[in-house]
Amino acid sequence: MPCSLVVSVACTLTDQLALHRVTECILQQGGRAFPLSQADVLDAAAVGTIGALVYDLEPGDASAVGFVRRIRAVRPDWPIWLY
Protein backbone atom coordinates (compact mmCIF):
# COMPACT_ATOMS: atom_id res chain seq x y z
CA MET A 1 0.00 0.00 0.00
CA PRO A 2 1.54 3.37 -0.98
CA CYS A 3 2.26 5.87 1.74
CA SER A 4 0.51 9.23 1.40
CA LEU A 5 2.94 11.07 3.67
CA VAL A 6 5.39 13.39 1.91
CA VAL A 7 8.72 13.63 3.71
CA SER A 8 10.55 16.96 3.68
CA VAL A 9 14.32 16.55 3.76
CA ALA A 10 16.82 19.31 4.49
CA CYS A 11 19.93 19.07 2.32
CA THR A 12 23.05 20.78 3.61
CA LEU A 13 25.57 19.91 0.90
CA THR A 14 28.34 22.18 -0.33
CA ASP A 15 28.99 20.36 -3.61
CA GLN A 16 26.35 21.56 -6.09
CA LEU A 17 26.48 18.37 -8.19
CA ALA A 18 25.94 16.25 -5.09
CA LEU A 19 23.11 18.53 -4.00
CA HIS A 20 21.44 18.16 -7.39
CA ARG A 21 21.81 14.37 -7.38
CA VAL A 22 20.47 13.98 -3.83
CA THR A 23 17.59 16.36 -4.53
CA GLU A 24 16.62 14.42 -7.65
CA CYS A 25 16.65 11.11 -5.75
CA ILE A 26 14.47 12.53 -3.00
CA LEU A 27 12.00 13.87 -5.57
CA GLN A 28 11.93 10.51 -7.40
CA GLN A 29 10.94 8.84 -4.15
CA GLY A 30 8.05 11.27 -3.63
CA GLY A 31 9.72 13.49 -1.05
CA ARG A 32 10.55 17.18 -0.99
CA ALA A 33 14.13 18.39 -0.77
CA PHE A 34 15.12 21.74 0.70
CA PRO A 35 18.67 23.03 0.26
CA LEU A 36 19.30 24.79 3.58
CA SER A 37 22.21 26.36 5.41
CA GLN A 38 23.14 25.04 8.85
CA ALA A 39 21.37 27.98 10.51
CA ASP A 40 18.22 27.34 8.46
CA VAL A 41 18.30 23.64 9.38
CA LEU A 42 18.47 24.50 13.07
CA ASP A 43 15.49 26.85 12.68
CA ALA A 44 13.53 24.19 10.76
CA ALA A 45 14.38 21.61 13.42
CA ALA A 46 13.02 23.86 16.14
CA VAL A 47 9.66 24.36 14.41
CA GLY A 48 9.31 20.85 13.00
CA THR A 49 8.90 21.65 9.30
CA ILE A 50 11.54 19.14 8.15
CA GLY A 51 11.61 15.39 8.79
CA ALA A 52 15.20 14.42 7.99
CA LEU A 53 18.63 15.76 7.06
CA VAL A 54 21.28 14.95 4.46
CA TYR A 55 24.60 16.51 5.49
CA ASP A 56 28.13 16.35 4.06
CA LEU A 57 29.98 17.13 7.32
CA GLU A 58 31.50 20.31 5.91
CA PRO A 59 33.73 22.01 6.92
CA GLY A 60 35.11 18.65 8.03
CA ASP A 61 36.21 19.67 11.51
CA ALA A 62 34.84 19.69 15.05
CA SER A 63 32.19 22.27 14.10
CA ALA A 64 30.57 19.69 11.78
CA VAL A 65 30.29 17.23 14.66
CA GLY A 66 28.92 20.00 16.86
CA PHE A 67 26.26 20.76 14.26
CA VAL A 68 25.13 17.13 14.18
CA ARG A 69 25.02 17.09 17.99
CA ARG A 70 22.88 20.26 18.06
CA ILE A 71 20.47 18.75 15.55
CA ARG A 72 20.31 15.49 17.50
CA ALA A 73 19.61 17.42 20.73
CA VAL A 74 16.70 19.31 19.16
CA ARG A 75 15.35 16.47 17.01
CA PRO A 76 16.46 13.04 18.26
CA ASP A 77 13.79 11.48 16.01
CA TRP A 78 15.32 12.75 12.74
CA PRO A 79 17.14 10.43 10.39
CA ILE A 80 20.47 12.05 9.52
CA TRP A 81 22.17 10.77 6.39
CA LEU A 82 25.84 11.67 6.10
CA TYR A 83 26.88 12.14 2.49
Domain extents in the chain: 8-82
| Angstrom distances, CA of residue 14 to CA of 2, 5, 23 | 33, 28, 13
CATH of region 8-82: 3.40.50.11370
The answer on pLDDT for 2 being more than 90 is no
pTM score, two decimals?
0.89
pLDDT digits (tens, 9 = 90+) for 4-59: 688 999 999 999 999 999 999 999 999 999 999 999 999 999 898 899 999 999 99
Q: What is the DSSP letter of 73?
A: H
Q: What is the pLDDT of residue 5?
A: 82
